[in-house]
């Protein structure tokens, strides 16, 4: 399994945003200066941006929030708190272990304490579009002030807007998020966080004749850590907006999160369905829920796995 690495390489990326002319498309860097803008010019509805790529130095991230500490917890939507109730029981995932119709990876995380309460499954899973990894990366950039959520990335379009649509299945928006952050930059960041099982690829667009790209891949442990990072930024209103009201469908997974505030990401493909959720109880308990699948017989099996995971988490509270 390989992950793209960035060294001292210069390249030029041409970006077209919905065939619209634009006067300003900023390019963002992490605090190590991985991608620094050299010049921006407008010509024939295209932006030519020349980058100089510098080596990534993980230790140069200035904020303590970028160094993997346990996340802060939000009990009220606009009030940051420092703790909350934790799960005291034992979570059993035997029902998922016994589930037929695909290979399943699942985990329940007590996000108030950071503890993984239970997990099952191993190996590499397809995550299709890498939205969740990109959001984890963007959360750290937001926290450090490098890329505020209201940063303009198109005509009257912010990075928050593009993520919002990407999390609702818009492949064009997902592709623009990738173009803004940069595949090489995001891959190098993932490697710096220890995501050694994660392999990122460009977003597969869904219009006829679109270039084919391989699906992005990751492991349960990498996705769990990405969820922890995202949860560490859940105090940012834009992050809650991006992840708010995930589409759980009308099958078994529709019952997940009833009576709780639910934030998350759902992605489905020909042989997989992926769930990444943050569920917040009225008394301030935050649970992380992850379901990864491969070789899935049908989408309904993924929904069933998510429902079983939710029931197992509730039984331990």
Query: What are the structural domain ranges in the chain?
Result: 69-129+204-315
DSSP 8-state symbol, 226: H
Tokens matching residue 252: 């078994």
Strand ranges inside the chain, DSSP E: 10-15, 35-43, 46-53, 73-76, 79-81, 103-110, 115-120, 124-128, 152-154, 157-158, 216-219, 261-268, 273-280, 286-294
Residue 15 has pLDDT above 50, yes or no: no
Average pLDDT over residues 50-70: 34
What secondary structure does DSSP assign to 27-58, as a single string? ----TT-SEEEEEEEEETTEEEEEEEE----G
**Mean pLDDT computed over 293-316:** 95
Residue 82 above 70 pLDDT? Answer: no
Are 4 and 53 contacting, i.e. CB atoms less than 8 angstroms apart?
A: no
Q: 83 pLDDT band (50/70/90 cuts)?
A: low
Q: Which residue has the higher pLDDT, 129 or 65?
A: 129
> Residue 206: what pLDDT?
87
- In this predicted model, which residue has the larger pLDDT, 224 or 37? 224
Average pLDDT over residues 241-245: 97
pLDDT band at 121 (very low <50, low <70, confident <90, very high): very high
**pLDDT value of position 90:** 85
Give me the helix-helix angle, 131-144 and 171-181, nearest 10°: 50
- Better-scored residue on pLDDT, 78 or 115: 115
In contact, 72 and 80? CB cutoff 8 Å? yes
pLDDT of residue 37: 34
Instruction: Report whether pLDDT(301) > 60.
Output: yes
Least confident of 154-163, 189-198, 201-210: 201-210
* The pLDDT value given to residue 88: 61
For the cut 80, the answer to whether the pLDDT of residue 234 exceeds it is: yes
CB 270 within 8 A of CB 92: no
Model pLDDT, residue 295: 95
Question: Binning pLDDT at 50, 70 and 90, where does residue 42 land?
Answer: very low
CATH class of 69-129+204-315: alpha beta
DSSP state of 7: -
How much is the average pLDDT of 299-308?
A: 96
Structure confidence at residue 40 as a pLDDT band (50, 70, 90) = very low
pLDDT score at 271: 86
């Amino acid at each position: 399994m390989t992950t793209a690495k960035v060294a001292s390489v210069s390249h030029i990326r041409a970006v077209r945003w919905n065939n619209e002319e634009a006067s300003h498309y900023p390019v963002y860097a992490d605090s190590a200066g991985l991608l620094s803008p050299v010049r921006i010019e407008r010509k024939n509805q295209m932006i030519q941006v020349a980058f100089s790529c510098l080596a990534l130095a993980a230790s140069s991230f200035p904020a303590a929030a970028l160094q993997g500490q346990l996340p802060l917890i939000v009990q009220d939507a606009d009030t940051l708190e420092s703790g909350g109730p934790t799960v005291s029981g034992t979570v059993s995932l035997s029902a998922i272990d016994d589930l037929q119709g695909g290979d399943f990876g699942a985990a329940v995380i007590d996000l108030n304490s950071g503890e993984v309460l239970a997990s099952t499954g191993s190996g590499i899973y397809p995550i299709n579009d890498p939205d969740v990894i990109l959001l984890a990366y963007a959360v750290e950039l937001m926290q450090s002030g490098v890329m505020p959520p209201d940063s303009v990335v198109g005509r009257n379009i912010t990075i928050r807007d593009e993520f919002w649509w990407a999390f609702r299945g818009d492949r064009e928006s997902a592709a623009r998020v990738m173009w803004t952050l940069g595949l090489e930059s995001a891959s190098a960041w993932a490697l710096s966080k220890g995501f050694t099982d994660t392999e990122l690829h460009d977003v597969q667009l869904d219009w006829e004749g679109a270039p084919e790209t391989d699906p992005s891949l990751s492991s349960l442990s990498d996705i769990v850590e990405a969820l922890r990072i995202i949860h560490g930024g859940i105090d940012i209103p834009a992050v809650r907006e991006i992840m708010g009201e995930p589409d759980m469908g009308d099958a078994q997974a529709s019952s997940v999160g009833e009576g709780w505030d639910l934030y998350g990401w759902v992605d489905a493909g020909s042989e997989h369905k992926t769930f990444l959720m943050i569920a917040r109880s009225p008394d301030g308990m935050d649970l992380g829920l992850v379901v990864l699948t491969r070789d899935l017989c049908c989408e309904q099996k993924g929904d069933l796995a998510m429902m079983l995971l939710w029931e197992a988490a509730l039984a331990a509270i």
